[in-house]
Amino acid sequence: MRAGPDRRESLADVVADIRDGTRLALCGFAITRNAVAFAHELVRARRHRLSLTQVIGGMETDLLVAAGAVDDLSYGGGSLDRFGPLHAVNRAAMAGTLRLVEYSALALTLRLHAGALGLPFIATRSLLGSDLAQALIAGGHARLAEDPFDGTPCLVLPPLRTDVAVVHVDVADTAGNAVIAGPTWSIPETVRAADTVIVLAEEVVDVGAIDPSHVHIPAALVHAVVAAPRGAYPTAVFGRYDYDGAHLRRYAQAAADAAGTAAYLDEWVFGTGTFDAFLSKAAA
C-alpha cells in the first residue's frame, strides 16, 4: 500500500474554503454524530446564504439556522429527539426567513443517491398522495410519472448534488479513508453526492492502519481530514461518548425563543472562540 496523499487540514482552513452561498450537506441525525465543531466554526466565520441539505436535521442544523447562516434547507424532517424540536428551523420557516423544502427521509436519500450515481433521475413510490409530494411538485423538485413498463403511477425525483459534505466519523487515515461504527443512516449517499467531502474524525491514523474492507468512505472521495476529538459533543458518537442530555436540554430551552437563541450563541459559540474552549466550558 502506498502512503497516499496527506489530506489533513485544520478546521479553520476547511471553513475558510466555504463561501457564502455554498450548497452544504450535513450528516448528523438528531442527537447523534452531528458535526458540531464544524458548525461552531462556520457560525463564528459568519457565513451566510448557505443552501443546506440534510436527510434528518439535528443540533448542527438548528445552530446554523439560528445563526442566520442558512437561506434554504432541504430535509426530511428533524428534531432533537425527546429533548425538543428544531426550534430555530421551525421559527425561521414560519417567519419566512428560511425556505424549507421537505421530503420524506427516503425520498431525499434517493435524490442524493441519484446524485451520487449520476442517474438522470430516480423513481419512487414514497410520497404519493401526500401533501409533501404536492409541495415538491409545485416547487419543481418532483414530478408524477407513469412506470414505463406497467403504467402504474409513481414519483420521479431529479438527482441532488451539493458542493460540500461534512461528516463526523470515528477513524480516518491521513488520506481520507474513513470508518463509522454503528448505523450509518444516509451518510453514504450524502457524502457521495458532494463535489467536496470534509471528514472530521475522532481519531486520525496512518494510511494502512484501517482494514480496507471496513472503509465506509473511500479516500478517493475525500478532500480534507480534520482531527476533531469530541467534535460531535453534545451529540453522541456510538461507542465513544454519550450525548450530554443536560446541555441538549439547555440548548432546546434557549432555542425556544429568538432572544434565548442569541444568548446561547453568544455564550457558547461566539463567547468560547474555539471548540476546545467550548468543550472546557461545557465540562466545567
Partner 1 sequence: MTARPAWTRGEMLAVAGSLQVRDGDVAIVGLGLPQVAALLARYTHAPSTRLLLEIGVFEPDPTEPAMGIADPRMWQGGSSFGSMLEILGVMLHGRRVTLGMLGALQVDQWGSINTTEVVAEDGSRRRFNGSGGGNDIASHAARTVVIMSHQPRKFARVLPFVTSPGRMVRGRPRDQFGLTGGGTCAIVTDRAVIAIGPQGAVLDSVHPGEDPDAVVADTPIPLLRGAPAETPAPTAEQLDLIRSRLDPHGWYTR
Interface residue with partner 1 among 125, 139, 266, 280 (CB under 8 A) is 125
Rg over alpha carbons for the chain, rounded to the nearest Å, is 19
How near is the Cβ of 12 to partner 1 at its closest, in Å? 26
Distance CA 57, CA 192 (A): 18
Interface residue with partner 1 among 82, 97, 209, 281 (CB under 8 A) is 82
Which x/- pattern, by CB under 8 A, does the window 41-80 give for partner 1?
--------------xx-x----------------xxxxx-
Site size with partner 1, rule: CB under 8 A: 80
Residue closer to partner 1 (CB basis): 41 or 173: 173
Pairing mode, if any, of strands 153-157 and 99-102? Answer: unpaired
- Residues between 256 and 275 with contacts to its own copies, criterion CB under 8 A: none
Interface residue with its own copies among 50, 86, 92, 180 (CB under 8 A) is 180
Whether the CB-CB separation of 254 and 262 falls below 8 Å is answered with: no
Asked whether position 1 contacts its own copies by CB under 8 A, the answer is no
Distance CA 246, CA 190 (A): 30
Asked whether position 19 contacts partner 1 by CB under 8 A, the answer is no
Whether the CB-CB separation of 111 and 157 falls below 8 Å is answered with: yes
Residue closer to partner 1 (CB basis): 56 or 228: 56
Residue closer to its own copies (CB basis): 96 or 148: 148
Q: Which stretch binds partner 1 (CB under 8 A): 196-204, 238-246, 253-261, 262-270?
A: 238-246
- Residues between 156 and 175 with contacts to its own copies, criterion CB under 8 A: 156, 158
Among residues 64, 57, 52, the alpha carbon closest in space to that of 28 is found at 57
What number of other Cβ atoms are within 10 A of residue 251's Cβ?
25
Pairing mode, if any, of strands 194-205 and 162-173? Answer: parallel
Whether the CB-CB separation of 195 and 169 falls below 8 Å is answered with: no
Asked whether position 149 contacts its own copies by CB under 8 A, the answer is yes
Distance CA 70, CA 165 (A): 15
Whether the CB-CB separation of 70 and 98 falls below 8 Å is answered with: yes
Judged by beta carbon distances under 5 to 8 A according to partner kind, the member of partner 1, its own copies, none in contact with residue 122 is its own copies
Interface residue with its own copies among 1, 95, 152, 259 (CB under 8 A) is 152
Which x/- pattern, by CB under 8 A, does the window 145-184 give for partner 1?
-------xxxx-------------------x-x---xxxx
Among residues 132, 189, 196, the alpha carbon closest in space to that of 159 is found at 189
